[in-house]
Amino acid sequence: MGKHIITGEQFAVFRGFLREEEREQGTIEKYLRDIRIFAVWAGEREINKELTASWKEHLKAEGFRPETINGKLSAVNKFFRFLGWEDCRVKYLKIQRRLFRRADKNLTKEEYKRLVETADSSGKERLALLMEVICATGIRVSEVKHITAEAVQAGRAEVSLKGKIRIILLPGKLCRKLQKYARRQKIVSGEIFLTRNGKGLTRRQIWAEMKGLCNKAGVAPSKVFPHNLRHLFARTFYRIYKDVAKLADVLGHSSIETTRVYLISTGMEHARQLERLGLIF
């Protein structure tokens, strides 16, 4: 058996493989970034299970959170499986299921409202409307490109991912706001959210624009990122309808367990729930 050595050609072929799997662009870039980090750390050493396990210990010693370490291991393990290097794969860290989420990550409805109002008052109409679209529908930031003039006219957007087609319903009030915005921007077909050059907004651009609102809106930067709007949608939907199976369908999750992660309450909320049990006299 020859030595296992990572090459640039392998990266290129693996990127093509991930695209064939219809992985989101952000996921592809994260996988490749984590694999490169591993490759740089490994240097010229031969890749084997012992080396990969040593990298796992290195990440732990560097203070990375278990979830982050498992994310990086997921990337290299998938890469090794693609290459047929099954003997190089390692086990993930065991993580106890979280009972509540960190308060510094929990975006409230009031904070979301301040972000939208701040964007509006700062003349950033596109950003304000974009945040409302994500938070009112629960779509992924990578799915924003499917919000087109045609979708707004129909009141629904069709998303195709990994061979599955998902329908995203657009509330009437949201459609009216999008139609007015499209008319002002002279958009009659195609994507609604475009740059000045007529190109679709990237995940990085949306992330950066949202971060730019933090100080003026008085919202902690740790709470402000596109995916957190999806989390707020999920919690709000479940609070009203109490239907986790329906919510999983709306979010496009193949597993209800994934949806449950979105519904974890904060430590403060969990403490209030314990108080309401009335078991302390």
What residues are annotated to the active site? 140, 162, 227, 230, 253, 262
Q: Pick from 145, 147, 143, 164: which is nearest to 156 by CA? A: 147
Angstrom distance (rounded) from CA 13 to CA 10: 5
For β-strands 265-266 and 100-101, DSSP reports them as parallel
Residues contacting 44, CB < 8 A, separation 6+: none
Q: How many residues does the chain have?
A: 281
Contact 89, 205 (CB under 8 A): no
Angstrom distance (rounded) from CA 46 to CA 65: 27
Angstrom distance (rounded) from CA 26 to CA 150: 26
